[in-house]
C-alpha cells in the first residue's frame, strides 16, 4: 500500500509561512496585498440575499429587491472589484447558455441530448449484440462449465 511519509508533507505552519512569503513578495513587487485575516475568532458569513432565476437580487429579511451592484457593500467582500465583475460576467454567460439550451430543447420537441443519443445508439447496439452476444454467452457458459468441472474433480479427489 501507499504509505505517506510525514516528512514529505508540509506542516500547516510551513504552508502558512509560504503563503505569507508569497504575499510579502507580491507586496514588494507592487501588487495590492489582500486584506489581513484576523486569525482570532472566525468571521461568520451571513447570507441575507437571494439571487432569483430572473437574475434579480432580493433581501431575504425584508423581501425587497436590491438594485444593481449595490448589493450590501457595508462589509468588504471576499473578491476584489475586477474578480467580482469577471465572476458576474461568467455567471451571466452561464445563465445565457442555460437559457439557450432550454430554448433549443423546447424547439426540438423537448428531446434531451440523452434521448437523442439513445435514439442514435439503439440500432448500433442492437446490431453489435446480434453479431457478438451468442459468442460471448457461449464463451462464458463454457468457462463456467470448466470451472464447475474442475471444482467437482477437486472435491471428488479429496
Q: How many helices (H) does the chain have, and how many strands (E)?
A: 3, 3
Helix (H) or strand (E) holding 59: strand 57-59
102 within a domain of the structure (yes/no): yes
Residue at 118 is within a domain: yes
pLDDT for residue 8 is more than 50? no
Residue 6 lies in a domain: no
User: Does pTM surpass 0.75?
Assistant: no
Distances (CA, A) of 14 to 3, 18, 35, 66: 21, 6, 21, 43
Is 130 among the domain residues?
A: yes
Domain count, the chain: 2
Look at residue 22 and tell me if it is in a domain: no
In a domain, 13, yes or no: no
CA dist 81 and 89 (Å) reads 12
pLDDT band per the 50, 70, 90 thresholds, residue 27: low
Q: What are phi and psi of 37, to 5 degrees?
A: -100, 130
Which of 16-25, 104-113, 121-130 has the weakest average pLDDT?
104-113
Per-residue pLDDT at 105 exceeds 50? yes
Q: Which residue would you say has higher pLDDT here, 90 or 54?
A: 90
- What does the mean pLDDT of the chain come to? 75
pLDDT in tens, 39-49: 556 566 567 77
Q: Is 125 in the same domain as 103?
A: no
1 pLDDT above the threshold of 50: no
Residues of the domain holding 133: 111-158
Amino acid at each position: 500500500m501507499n504509505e505517506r511519509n510525514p516528512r514529505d508533507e508540509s506542516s500547516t505552519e510551513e504552508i502558512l509561512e509560504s503563503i505569507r512569503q508569497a504575499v510579502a513578495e507580491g507586496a514588494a513587487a507592487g501588487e495590492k496585498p489582500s486584506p489581513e485575516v484576523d486569525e482570532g475568532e472566525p468571521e461568520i458569513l451571513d447570507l441575507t440575499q437571494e439571487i432569483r432565476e430572473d437574475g434579480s437580487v432580493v433581501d431575504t429579511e425584508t423581501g425587497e429587491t436590491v438594485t444593481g451592484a449595490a448589493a450590501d457593500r457595508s462589509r468588504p467582500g471576499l473578491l476584489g472589484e475586477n474578480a467580482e465583475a469577471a465572476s458576474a460576467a461568467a455567471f451571466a454567460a452561464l445563465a445565457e447558455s442555460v437559457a439557450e439550451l432550454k430554448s433549443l430543447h423546447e424547439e426540438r420537441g423537448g428531446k434531451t441530448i440523452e434521448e437523442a443519443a439513445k435514439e442514435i445508439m439503439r440500432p448500433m447496439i442492437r446490431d453489435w449484440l446480434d453479431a457478438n452476444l451468442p459468442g460471448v454467452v457461449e464463451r462464458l457458459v463454457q468457462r463456467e462449465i470448466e470451472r464447475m468441472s474442475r471444482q467437482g474433480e477437486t472435491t471428488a479427489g479429496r
